Structure 1
Amino acid sequence: MSSSPYTVYLPAGPPGVSWSLPQGVRDTVALPCVVLADRAGFSEFAVLQRALRVVGVPSVRIDAGSAGASRVSGRVPGDVIDVDGRVIVPTVVWVRHFTPEAIPVGGESWCAWIGQLPAVHLPGGAPGRLAQLAGAVRRGVRVPSTIVTTDPPGAARELGCGRVVVKALGEHFAEVSPGVLEAAFPRIAAPGDLMPADRPVIVQEYVEHEEELRVYHLGGELRAFLVGKSAPEAIWRDEASVTVRPAHVPPDVATAARVLAADWGLRYAAFDFLLTRAGPVFLEANADGDWRWFEARAGCESVSLAAASMLRDLHDRSSALDLTGFLALRTFRGGE
């Protein structure tokens, strides 16, 4: 956890929803459609929606901050829903940062509605950090020596390390009010610099490593970046110092990411590994992990394109249409 506070203010989104649909489709045609639910302050789904347009997959993006301005309805049982007067059949629903805290009014109900739409849902619920570490160990994947405690100094002595990493048990960011995020960054510390905590925290050995590898798992496909940074929070506090470059995924890391994603039912997740001379060390998997910042630094859109490909395949299977059939349907409906 960082020794000084860090707050992020997310911009408000425009009212309503963002559509990407074939031309000529009437509002009353029940069109198979991908549903993206997120926050206006994150750019991942904006780029993804453009990529879906290129591959011919209809999509609708719902922003948490302006969800209350939308009109939705759907008969139960049934697969068809009405969003702002347009009728769709959800095929895939991907939710990122769409939480009750993000929605000014009726947040629990909006999240319950999104979560219960009849469709394939992404990314799936990743287990907490402790369950992740335990699951990795069961699969023979190395993890840092870890203690959960309210006594970080005692834990550091027990670990016998010159340096340790202290982490929160929960999310790195907490939304204290709609659009306002407060960070709880991991921090590296010497044992003598630690103080007792008023809540349980994670204390881990600091693992000497050559590089850090962020691996994105997208329906079995993997995309990765080598990341160089001076501290865990450098991406936020010292962005200019961080280096990012595309990377191949080592075979042992690829196996670990795919096995753990399968164990946890995750079609999508961002995995963090340390690359050491003795092999990879797993840190954590984030089912809501952002990717656009890494792509921008590396000068590519490899994750966005893989995400669009994954959604296209899920959409085609869910709607019982292959891409050729879908394009034919576009032509037919465009002539109606």
Structure 2
Amino acid sequence: MPMPPVTVDLRSSRGVVTWSPPEPYDPLTATPCVVLADRAGCGEFPVLQTLLCRLGVPSVRIDAEGVSALDLSFRLGGGSLTLDDGSLTLDGRRVVPTVVWARHFSPRAMPRAGGPAAAMVRADSWTALVRQLASLAPSSLPGGSPGHLEQLAGAARAGVRVPETVVTTDPAAVPARSAARRFVVKVVDEHFLETAPGLLLGVFPQVLEREELARLPAPDFPVMVQEHVEHDAELRVYYLDGAVHAYAVDKPSPDSPWREEARVPVTPAAVPPAAAAAVRRLARLWGLAYGAFDLLLAGAEVVFLEVNVDGDWRWFESRAGGTAVSNAVALMIRKRHLDALRSAGAPPPIEIVDFLLLGTPMAGGAR
């Protein structure tokens, strides 16, 4: 019997444009700046902005919910983008993007007003601008965005084990063709559906016995049916420009982090060499600068489940304690920002030891 979807209500989140540092920029000078685009209810980028400020990197964060009130213009000069061309003016402040990172920046999140056609044009236009701004900036994240089937096929070709997978509109027929004892049924696309701006429904994987799957009614859309791989540990591994950080997660069921958070222990974990090698190999394959990889460890074997290029990290930090991933993300962005300055011929700021700039780790976290 399918579980009811998990509802996440972000409708009370008010989108804003947040500058760090907050002091007004000189409107006559284009300031090199990191541009972050996300949802107002997500906790990753507010923390990242604080850390970037400590590292001396200016940034601006644009929330998808607040774009309608944003005063924006984007200027393209002749030739390639330099610190004099490609300037972006936001609410009267002129900047040149050095790094652009958009995550969860969906047209479905944007306010709907003025009729269906006007709402669609508004949402599509803002999404297209942010996507193309990322392609024009000297550096952008997360990189590629492979779909689930592309991920599984690519991992298998790269020599990384993946669960036996069938995509079908008749999941009840799968047990007759498989020796697996248990199965995982999941949607082909994202687990969250945004039925209205700010209202998200999570449709999470189900773990079913053979007999349960054989009785499952056929949907009128394709689903993924995978073997349930018996394993010793489940890891969330964060890939950041070659570096890896991991947490061990013990979930009673796939939706436990949302339905019963207190029952999901999360602990920092060392990344086994085989897992680190697999993550780096797949990140190179898909051109990822950032990715949240879900892996299983079955004895000495690494099993790839999926990579989420918009994967959150603050919830894992909050459950496990510490800000290891946040610090690593901030240092990754700072390096890309400085590389953009050097490429444009601008003098980078004076180098200071990173741990002095980051200071005391931040406590707590947001999901």
Does TM, normalized by the shorter one, top 0.5? yes
Aligned pair 1:232/2:254, yes or no?
yes
Matching residue of 1:57: 57
CA RMSD, 1 decimal: 1.9
In the superposition, relative to structure 1, how do residues 318 and 99 fare at CA in structure 2: closer, same or farther (>3 Å)? same
Aligned pair 1:94/2:101, yes or no?
yes
Q: Where do residues 67-86 of structure 1 align in structure 2 (5 Å cutoff)?
A: 67-77=67-77, 78-86=85-93
Cα distance per residue 1:163-216 (max 9 Å; x no partner): 100010000101111101111101100122131222111001100111100000
Contact 2:145/2:286 (8 A) holds in 1: yes
In the superposition, relative to structure 1, how do residues 97 and 198 fare at CA in structure 2: closer, same or farther (>3 Å)? same
Q: Which amino acid aligns with 1:254?
A: A
Aligned counterparts of 2:12 and 2:285: Cα–Cα separation in 1: 36
Aligned counterparts of 2:52 and 2:347: Cα–Cα separation in 1: 15
In the superposition, relative to structure 1, how do residues 86 and 141 fare at CA in structure 2: closer, same or farther (>3 Å)? same
Q: Normalising by structure 2, what TM-score?
A: 0.85
State, as a whole percentage, how many aligned pairs show the same letter. Answer: 51
Aligned pair 1:275/2:297, yes or no?
yes
Show structure 1 runs of 4+ deviating over 6 A. Answer: 321-324
Q: Where do residues 1-336 of structure 1 align in structure 2 (5 Å cutoff)?
A: 3-21=3-21, 25-77=25-77, 78-104=85-111, 105=119, 106-117=122-133, 118-119=136-137, 120-194=139-213, 195=216, 196-320=218-342, 325-327=348-350
In the superposition, relative to structure 1, how do residues 162 and 89 fare at CA in structure 2: closer, same or farther (>3 Å)? same
Cα distance per residue 1:215-256 (max 9 Å; x no partner): 000111111000011000000011010000001111111111
Aligned counterparts of 1:238 and 1:7: Cα–Cα separation in 2: 13
Q: Normalising by structure 1, what TM-score?
A: 0.93
Aligned counterparts of 1:181 and 1:127: Cα–Cα separation in 2: 22
Deviation of 1:103 after TM superposition, in Å, equals 1.1
Aligned counterparts of 1:140 and 1:59: Cα–Cα separation in 2: 40
Aligned counterparts of 2:162 and 2:100: Cα–Cα separation in 1: 32
Deviation of 1:155 after TM superposition, in Å, equals 1.1
In the alignment of these two chains, the number of paired residues is 328
Contact 1:316/1:323 (8 A) holds in 2: no
Q: Which amino acid aligns with 2:101?
A: W
> Which deviates the most, 254-263 or 2-11?
2-11
Find the residue that maps to 2:18 and give its secondary structure: strand
Aligned counterparts of 1:2 and 1:20: Cα–Cα separation in 2: 45
Contact 2:342/2:348 (8 A) holds in 1: no
Contact 2:27/2:92 (8 A) holds in 1: yes
Find the residue that maps to 1:325 and give its secondary structure: coil
Contact 1:73/1:82 (8 A) holds in 2: yes
